[in-house]
Amino acid sequence: MRARSKLLSGTPAVRPVRAKEKASGKAPVVARMAPAERKAMILARASDFFAEYGLTAQTRALAAACGVAQRLLYRYFPSKAALLDEVYQEAIVSPFKAVWLIQLRDRTRPIETRLFDFYRAYYSTVLTRKWLRLFLYASLAEAKMAPDYNDAIVHELLETIVAETAHALKVELPSDRVLLHEMGYALHGAVSHFAIRRHVYIASQQILEERVVALHVRLFVTGFAALAAAARAFEDDVVELPRRTAR
């Protein structure tokens, strides 16, 4: 991710002025839009803008990127915080489909199929380059986007994945909710980090994404019983952590 840019320093990135415009001394004319249409346009460009330059980028540069005056931007969004709240709802939360949780709980289908279908959709719909950059920038800026998303969506998702896998494999689970989340992260974290490697690090490009997702799902399902047993043992405080071998 770009650490700094002209946008971060407050210099707006605008298109070059055409020769005729320069000669006349007139600024480009902004097309007229209905208020709802213009607000939607600003919001869409804001999510792209903050994904590229971070949440600390200035609204003056954003306004220039939108082709509007800064005061017009604040007519639609009274503050930068209000704008970021709407970016969060539109760009971070809305890509997640509630129907995915219903499909994960459909016990007429094999658990491995359910998990694969969900993470294939989640990878392509949610874990995009733009979404990941926004989410990571929000985390680095200590904004509330990432914690709010985890509380509103991820924790229920993790509990659903773990509960459905345990039911399918007839495996006993620990009662500690935090341990259940960590069990779920064994799969969710693996797929999420694969997306980060591919979209942010520009690595791990050699294998088709569906095969990588299938690989992580298979590993999770085949190792789930041992994972649950280890979690129950940790809950009972009867497991010794691995010790370092002296050299």
What CATH number has the domain bearing residue 25? 1.10.357.10
Q: Are residues 60 and 180 in the same domain?
A: no
- Give pLDDT, residue 218: 98
In a domain, 140, yes or no: yes
Least confident of 21-25, 83-87, 118-122: 21-25
Least confident of 4-8, 42-46, 129-133: 4-8
Task: Say what the pTM is.
Answer: 0.81
Q: Are residues 99 and 207 in the same domain?
A: yes
Angle between helices 129-140 and 177-199 (to 10 degrees): 120
Cβ(141)–Cβ(56) under 8 Å? yes
The residue length of the chain stands at 247
pLDDT band at 247 (very low <50, low <70, confident <90, very high): low
Q: Are residues 99 and 86 in the same domain?
A: no
Cα separation of 76 and 194, whole Å?
Answer: 37
**Whether residue 185 has pLDDT greater than 50:** yes
pLDDT band at 202 (very low <50, low <70, confident <90, very high): very high
Q: Are residues 40 and 134 in the same domain?
A: no
In a domain, 6, yes or no: no
In a domain, 242, yes or no: no
Q: Are residues 191 and 226 in the same domain?
A: yes
- Give pLDDT, residue 34: 80
- Give pLDDT, residue 2: 45
Last residue of a domain, one of 36, 57, 90: 90
Q: Are residues 85 and 141 in the same domain?
A: no
Phi, psi of 90 (to 5 degrees): -80, -45
Helices (H), the chain: 19-24, 35-53, 59-66, 70-76, 80-87, 99-104, 111-125, 129-140, 145-149, 155-169, 177-199, 209-222, 224-235
Cα separation of 134 and 122, whole Å?
Answer: 16
pLDDT band at 22 (very low <50, low <70, confident <90, very high): very low
Structural domain boundaries enclosing 162: 95-235
- Give pLDDT, residue 246: 57
Q: Are residues 142 and 51 in the same domain?
A: no
